[in-house]
Amino acid sequence: MEELKKKISFIVNGEQVSLEVDIRTSLLEVLRNELHLTGVKQGCGVGECGACTVLIDGEPIDSCIYLAVWADGKHITTIEGLAKNGKLSKVQEAYVDEGAIQCGFCTPGLVLTTTALVEKGEHLTDEEIKREISGHFCRCTGYQKIFAAVKKVLENK
């Protein structure tokens, strides 16, 4: 039978990690179940809701449909990696300031997508902001405040 295990290494939130994974395992499962990074949320599990978003080499990716083996050699950022020395990132602060958090289930993914936009230094129109965050579903439907938080942090850059 073909070998179903593979050893992989990647950097997550600045720390080198090496582990053996089943080649069929998603990155979401490895982050939550093996590395206990439970800020990464599982919603739909099929790449539709954005709850499982992490940054891979700076790009927002749905980790539920991304195999763990594809992350070999890459840099991953989860929500746990944003605050430094107990201080929230600018993006996290903007979400708090704008009251853009209700149950919080969609928040890690949205904050990471927003972080990627800030790091790219893009100047976006309102329509472009909406398009950029359209891959995230908020079941509490707090979209106006989420939009305000993204706009605030992009404009204050």
Shortest Cβ distance from residue 133 to ligand FES (Å)? 11
Instruction: Closer to ligand FES by CB, 86 or 94: give it.
Output: 94
| Greatest extent of the chain over all pairs of C-alpha atoms, in Å | 56
CA distance 44 to 59: 20
Considering the complex, what minimum distance in angstroms separates the CB of residue 33 from ligand FES? Answer: 14
Assign 75 to helix, strand or coil.
Answer: strand
Nearest residue (CB) to ligand FES, 39 versus 142: 142
Q: Which is nearer to ligand FES, 31 or 153 (CB)?
A: 31
- Nearest distance, CB of residue 52 and ligand FES, angstroms: 3
Residue 140 as a binder of ligand FES (CB under 6 A): the answer is yes
Contacting ligand FES within 26-65 (CB under 6 A): 42-45, 47-52, 62, 64
DSSP character at residue 26: B
Contact between 68 and 8 under an 8 Å Cβ cutoff? The reply is: yes
Give the amino acid at 123.
Answer: H
Query: Could you tell me where the DSSP H helices lie in the chain?
Result: 27-29, 90-97, 107-120, 126-132, 143-155
Which residues contact ligand FES (rule: CB under 6 A)? 42-45, 47-52, 62, 64, 101-107, 138-140, 142
